[in-house]
Structure 1
Amino acid sequence: MPLHIVRDDIANMRTDAVVVPANPKLLIGGGAGEAVARIAGMGRLQAACDEIGGCAVGKAVVTPAFDFPANMIVHAVGPVWKGGESGEADALFSCVGEALRAASRAGAETMALPLLATGSFGFPSGLAIDIETRAIQAFLDACEADVWLVLYDRASMRAGRSMFDAIAEYIDDVYVGEHGFEATRAFHDYASTEGFVPHAVQSAARPSSAPPPMMAPSPDFSAKPSRGGLFKRKRKHKGAPAPTPTLEPQSLAERLAQLDESFAQTVLRLIDERGLTDVEVYKRANMSRQLFAKIRKDDGYRPTKKTACALVFALGLDHADAVALLARAGFALSHSSKFDVIVEYFLVNDIHDIFQVNEALFAYDQPLLG
């Protein structure tokens, strides 16, 4: 899974590179930067920053990690929030991309970063998450790496109030309604007290250089693979019912010789039918190249449920075809599982952006796709 979202402290992360928020003068202050600096050695880290001299807003610099258990520390200078009309979104998008690229150029393959420019810089956390995930997505589209977005708490997750309200309502309808308890009360409580960034505000403040969210596939991408859906469905004929055929006894060998198309075979067929490349699919699925190679090499590959669901979104399947593909892997979507209900919400609403799906899963303390 190239993009991981975790609830932790950046000082606890063990990756090749850790990214910390910094100011233009590279003076170590409070917050995440100070927590990492205390482990690295405050004096030596500040001396390394002083030698560099400073860093412009939207840029990043690399220093040794000293006693911190990483290969390097990346100091990223985010913008001060001034209401959203002074290019803050573009500056934050640039800041994240510059930090990740600097780490990659220095040899890092695993990277961790917190929310940047929030806290004393005043950037709204919900908008910061939206921008940072898009910047990470753009970086991962060009580079092979693993990136951890580290959030201090789940209440930090703000992907747009309208979407999360709709998800909460959907869970109430199909999950809480069937099981008789208020599973979303805690989410509503912190939603009302912390305050979401409205989706319209986020769209207006999206950095101009950010890739658009994958809310829906392009026309070619969403085209059905064949008439009648993923698996051809027989038409019902009016009139008298057809006689029930007599089933001849079959040996086990005969039955095994008549197996349906496997999950892996179906995925590869859909990739070909939709004119996609392997790289497009595994990046859209938030999968590593190594994991996808197993599907390509093994017709009998059995995925985990989260991997199977990730491929459903990467292929742009509708709800019916998603259910059919999951069945090929031996899975179903159940209203007794909050994970399944959240996945179903995005399918029935034709939203195929796996980063949005994972943001919702994280907010509800569910495993992420990929």
Structure 2
Amino acid sequence: MPLEIVRHDLTKMKVDAIVNAANTKLKMGGGVCGAIFQSAGAGQLQEACDQIGECKTGEAIITDGFNLDAKYIIHTPGPIWQGGSYQEAAMLRSSYWSSLELAKNYQCESIAFPLISTGIYGYPKEEALQIAISTISSFLMKHDMQVYLVVFDKKAFGFSQKLFTSIHQYIDDHYVNEVETFFQRNRIEEIREVEILQQDVYHEAEYSLVDLLDQLDESFSERLLRIIDEKGMTDVETYKRANIDRRLFSKIRNGVDYTPKKKTAVAFAIALRLNMDETIDLLTSAGYTLSRSSKFDVIIEFFIQHGQYDIHEINQVLFTFDQPLLGA
């Protein structure tokens, strides 16, 4: 199952487990920790934590979710930022990995994380985000679980300023605004109407409808599975790189006429590292294309043109620009 970035209140996530950015004494704190305690029921949750006692940085323990929608709360103390020279990165990775392993051991199918250590512990958000995504995606390459990375708003979420500037410039250079596109489309439609009238296609078509249906190109499913074989990739490798749920991929494999959502088709193009022409061919087989009048499409084009196929990095950018995410 995939990784999804969502803007939401962590305490209201309907998942098997939510993760609390705890302190080592497992006491009620401020920020995310305080909000979880309050929502779960501070008294009963503190009593459960007191029975456990403490938890070392980078490790994780589990309690009931009490009044939360989540069945469990996984508590993990992240590192306090001290400049980066005190194994902070290794401890932060361990916090995510220990939490995921604990969720797996309790048969959790879904889990929601905050950005651990980025509050009062002071971990730089961009670095913390990269560690979170790389650790979670590594886990998901070997295990099936729906993982959410929950942020309260975009201000709590960041990526490379250089990349942000490059994409902004690319959008400015390539994005065609909707008004201009509207008039372009009207003009194209007028030309097509004239051509149709001139050709009198209803009376002079060379092929009947039956003939045309017999000559359909391969479907999206057929084309996708052929490309996977040509790339020498496995099904599992493909749908995990595409950030796609195993059950959805099964529907695609078993349904020759399955029509995916556009973001799903694009996710597979990214997973298979297709160039622009190959991407357009795959999208066309599902009835889609890429347009300069869509910011989503322009961002996708930017990454493909630059040979960057990390789907989680692409999703970070799409999230920041309020666009649909790939896969999930």
Correspondence for 1:34: 34
Letter in 2 for 1:29: G
Q: C-alpha separation between the residues in 2 aligned to 1:39 and 1:8?
A: 15
Note if 1:341 corresponds to 2:298: yes
Note if 1:284 corresponds to 2:284: no
Correspondence for 2:274: 317
TM-score (norm 1): 0.79
Q: C-alpha separation between the residues in 1 aligned to 2:206 and 2:24?
A: 78
SS at match of 1:253: helix
Deviation string for 1:307-326 (max 9, x for gaps)?
Answer: 00000001110112111111
Q: C-alpha separation between the residues in 2 aligned to 1:125 and 1:320?
A: 36
Residue 155 of structure 1, CA deviation: 2.3
Residue 180 of structure 1, CA deviation: 9.4
Q: C-alpha separation between the residues in 2 aligned to 1:98 and 1:113?
A: 12
Q: C-alpha separation between the residues in 2 aligned to 1:60 and 1:160?
A: 30
Answer with 302-311 or 161-170: which moved more: 161-170
C-alpha contact (below 8 Å) 1:18/1:74 kept by paired residues: yes
Q: C-alpha separation between the residues in 2 aligned to 1:132 and 1:286?
A: 15
Correspondence for 1:48: 48
Letter in 2 for 1:360: V
Mark the runs of 5 or more structure 2 residues left unpaired by the alignment: 180-203
Q: C-alpha separation between the residues in 1 aligned to 2:236 and 2:159?
A: 26
Correspondence for 2:286: 329
Aligned residues: 303
Q: C-alpha separation between the residues in 2 aligned to 1:335 and 1:273?
A: 30
Residue 64 of structure 1, CA deviation: 0.9
Taking a change above 3 Å as real, the CA distance of residues 291 and 180 of structure 1, as seen in their structure-2 partners, is closer
SS at match of 1:332: coil
Correspondence for 2:177: 179
Q: C-alpha separation between the residues in 1 aligned to 2:177 and 2:226?
A: 38
Note if 1:275 corresponds to 2:273: no
For residues 56-71 of structure 1, what are the structure 2 equivalents within 5 Å? 56-71=56-71
Note if 1:81 corresponds to 2:38: no
Q: C-alpha separation between the residues in 2 aligned to 1:367 and 1:340?
A: 10
Answer with 284-293 or 155-164: which moved more: 155-164
Q: C-alpha separation between the residues in 2 aligned to 1:63 and 1:334?
A: 49
Note if 1:369 corresponds to 2:323: no
Deviation string for 1:64-122 (max 9, x for gaps)?
Answer: 11122211100011000011121111111110111121112112111111110011100
User: Percent sequence identity over matched residues?
Assistant: 46
For residues 28-177 of structure 1, what are the structure 2 equivalents within 5 Å? 28-175=28-175
Q: C-alpha separation between the residues in 2 aligned to 1:109 and 1:362?
A: 24
Q: C-alpha separation between the residues in 1 aligned to 2:94 and 2:282?
A: 38
Correspondence for 1:263: 220
C-alpha contact (below 8 Å) 2:12/2:68 kept by paired residues: no
Q: C-alpha separation between the residues in 1 aligned to 2:223 and 2:312?
A: 24
C-alpha contact (below 8 Å) 2:118/2:124 kept by paired residues: yes
Residue 248 of structure 1, CA deviation: 8.0
Letter in 1 for 2:173: D
Q: C-alpha separation between the residues in 2 aligned to 1:340 and 1:142?
A: 30
Q: C-alpha separation between the residues in 1 aligned to 2:178 and 2:258?
A: 38
Correspondence for 2:200: none
SS at match of 1:19: strand
Deviation string for 1:237-267 (max 9, x for gaps)?
Answer: xxxxxxxxxx983232222111111111111
Letter in 2 for 1:62: I
C-alpha contact (below 8 Å) 1:80/1:117 kept by paired residues: yes
For residues 215-254 of structure 1, what are the structure 2 equivalents within 5 Å? 249-254=206-211
C-alpha contact (below 8 Å) 2:12/2:69 kept by paired residues: no
C-alpha contact (below 8 Å) 1:126/1:156 kept by paired residues: no
C-alpha contact (below 8 Å) 1:130/1:158 kept by paired residues: no
Q: C-alpha separation between the residues in 2 aligned to 1:162 and 1:43?
A: 46
Residue 168 of structure 1, CA deviation: 1.1
Correspondence for 1:300: 257
Deviation string for 1:137-191 (max 9, x for gaps)?
Answer: 012112111011001111222221221111111111112xx3399xxxxxxxxxx
Residue 6 of structure 1, CA deviation: 0.7
